[in-house]
């Protein structure tokens, strides 16, 4: 969990860094275990029944809501405070504007349909890096991004299995994508089966 350390997050219980959550857990370790269990179950269901949408912000929000609806009251809602984790993500007041541009570009690129494996991996990495920098949700951005990209791959004719690489490797490549999407493109390429 992370926030702008200069103030108390409205998403957290008073005087804590624990996000307000539906089961009312106050212990960060218990919340982490609960989130992992429930989000993994929801993610498994999405593998069988993908969340359909138009590959836009509304679609991204629907995926986030589905995965986190039993965990956080803000599931599917755009954050309204600034957050950081080693660096600052997009300021909250610019999320909608930046999202509009990100998804306009994706639409103009025909949702990456018709690209060979190398091109698809590179373009998907650029998109995932842009969405990661946007970080539109208070928590749960990584899982949501991965499911969104998995669905995009399906639309483009590729099957993407994130379990083919470690979570740490995917996270490291995602963090690195702020300055270089090459490692993330490599991760995506290796996840396509």
pLDDT in tens, the chain (193 residues): 444 455 799 999 999 999 999 999 999 999 999 999 999 999 999 999 999 999 999 999 999 999 999 999 999 999 999 999 888 899 999 999 999 999 999 999 999 999 999 999 999 999 999 999 999 999 999 999 999 999 999 999 999 999 999 999 999 999 899 889 999 999 999 999 9
CATH architecture of 28-191: Orthogonal Bundle (1.10)
Alpha-carbon separation of residue 192 from 14, 51, 96 (angstroms): 43, 19, 30
């Amino acid at each position: 969990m992370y926030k702008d350390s200069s103030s108390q997050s409205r998403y957290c219980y008073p005087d804590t860094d624990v996000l307000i959550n539906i089961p009312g857990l106050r212990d960060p370790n218990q919340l982490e275990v609960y989130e992992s269990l429930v989000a993994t179950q929801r993610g498994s269901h999405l593998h069988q029944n993908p969340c359909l949408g138009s590959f836009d912000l509304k679609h991204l929000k629907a995926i986030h809501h589905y995965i986190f609806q039993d965990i956080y009251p803000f599931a599917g809602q755009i954050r309204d405070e600034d957050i950081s984790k080693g660096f600052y993500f997009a300021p909250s007041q610019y999320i909608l504007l930046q999202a509009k541009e990100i998804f306009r570009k994706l639409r103009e690129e025909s949702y990456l349909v018709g690209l060979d494996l190398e091109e698809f991996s590179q373009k998907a990495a650029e998109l995932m890096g842009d969405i990661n920098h946007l970080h539109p949700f208070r928590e749960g951005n990584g899982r949501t991004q991965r499911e969104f990209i998995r669905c995009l791959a399906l639309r483009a004719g590729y099957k993407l299995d994130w379990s083919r690489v470690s979570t740490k490797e995917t996270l490291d490549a995602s963090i690195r994508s702020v300055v270089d999407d090459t490692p993330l493109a490599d991760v995506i390429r290796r996840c396509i089966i």
